[in-house]
Amino acid sequence: MKKLLIFSLALVLVFSMAVLASAAENQYYLVEGYVTPDGKGEITRIELVDDVTSVKVTPGTDYAISAIGEEAVVIANHAFGVSFETAPDLPFAQLDEARFAVLVPYSDDFGALVLVDRQGRTLSSRVLLEREGEVSLDVRETEAGYELSWDYDSVDPSRLDFDVYAISQLTGEKNVLAYRMEETALSVPYDWLEPDDTIVFVLKSNDGSSTLTAESEGFNTPAGEAKDILDDEAWEGEWSNEEEEDVEWYWYLILIFLFVLLPAGVIVLVIVLVKKRKKRKLAK
């Protein structure tokens, strides 16, 4: 019995480690910043993100984001290219700076991320430290939807921005409700959410170097049909059947003119010109 218990605990531990490893594989550091034609550059933001597929990195070896571990050892390099040209047909017109966004797979071994140029010179660096403090999310349901508000602790509030998501417990989909907003409140109408669902709201707070997350309890959305941003009801009274029929007759008239009257008119014109020409010949 004792051996069976130990074996079961070992299985649970292995499974938990596998789940954590799988979650870590799907996490990335989204590193953003800029470089200038005169060789300067800066990392302006680092955000821990999940399952990102929409970030397109320009291929090249002009610059790289280096992941630094213990004793200043470079663990990984992620090279990328930039272009300062405004357009291919204007080779002498250059941008003052080129923005970049690079995805670096998450690792506990990373202590800092460094922006380096092709010569290996360090242009900018950010230490990866867990931000002290916390962020709290409050959700209040109303007749029209949900009122979200949040509070936070931060050394430099001026650098904070917030992302808000709604996660469906039925489908598992994560919908973005707000992205990098600076306000600390958001109204979410029922129209933004699927009906007959259980929604969990997630708040992400980022200060440019680290991310804190807060999550709400589940909220049940009312029954009904899913609504688009422009509902069909919004057009009621604005477009009557008579107007629709008038438009159809309008197009019919145009088609009749193009395919019947216009060719007939051309034929008549040709006949008239031919007759005039014959009359001139007879007159001579």
Question: Does residue 278 lie in a domain region?
Answer: no
Residues 60 and 113 in one domain: yes
Output the pLDDT for position 2. 41
Residues 67 and 114 in one domain: yes
Output the pLDDT for position 251. 53
Residues 53 and 167 in one domain: no
Residues 82 and 40 in one domain: yes
Residues 120 and 149 in one domain: no
Domain end, chosen from 99, 127, 155, is at 127
Residues 70 and 165 in one domain: no
Q: Looking at the chain, which runs of residues are DSSP E strands?
A: 27-35, 41-50, 63-68, 74-80, 98-105, 112-117, 122-127, 135-141, 145-152, 161-168, 174-181, 185-189, 198-206, 211-220
The answer to whether 169 and 198 have CB atoms below 8 angstroms apart is yes
Residues 155 and 122 in one domain: no
Residues 20 and 98 in one domain: yes
Domain end, chosen from 127, 143, 163, is at 127
- Interatomic CA distance for residues 157 and 227, integer angstroms: 36
- Interatomic CA distance for residues 229 and 221, integer angstroms: 17
- Partnered with residue 30 across adjacent β-strands are 47, 103
Output the pLDDT for position 48. 83
Which domain CATH number covers 37? Answer: 2.60.40
Per-residue pLDDT of the chain (284 residues; tens, 9 = 90+): 444 334 343 433 333 343 334 344 578 888 999 999 988 999 998 888 876 656 777 788 899 999 998 888 898 889 998 888 765 555 555 678 889 999 899 988 898 999 999 999 999 998 887 666 678 999 999 999 999 999 887 655 667 889 999 999 888 888 999 988 989 999 999 999 989 999 999 999 888 777 888 999 999 999 876 544 333 333 333 333 443 444 455 555 666 666 667 677 777 777 777 777 766 666 65
Q: Which two tokens stand for residue 187?
A: 């109204």
Domain end, chosen from 94, 127, 160, is at 127
Residues 95 and 34 in one domain: yes
pTM of the model: 0.58
Residues 215 and 144 in one domain: yes
Number of domains making up the chain: 2
Residues 122 and 39 in one domain: yes
Question: Does residue 282 lie in a domain region?
Answer: no
Domain interval for residue 53:
2-127
Question: Does residue 236 lie in a domain region?
Answer: no
Residues 150 and 168 in one domain: yes
Which domain CATH number covers 169? Answer: 2.60.40.10
Question: Does residue 259 lie in a domain region?
Answer: no
Choose among 39, 16, 46, 6: nearest CA to 159.
46
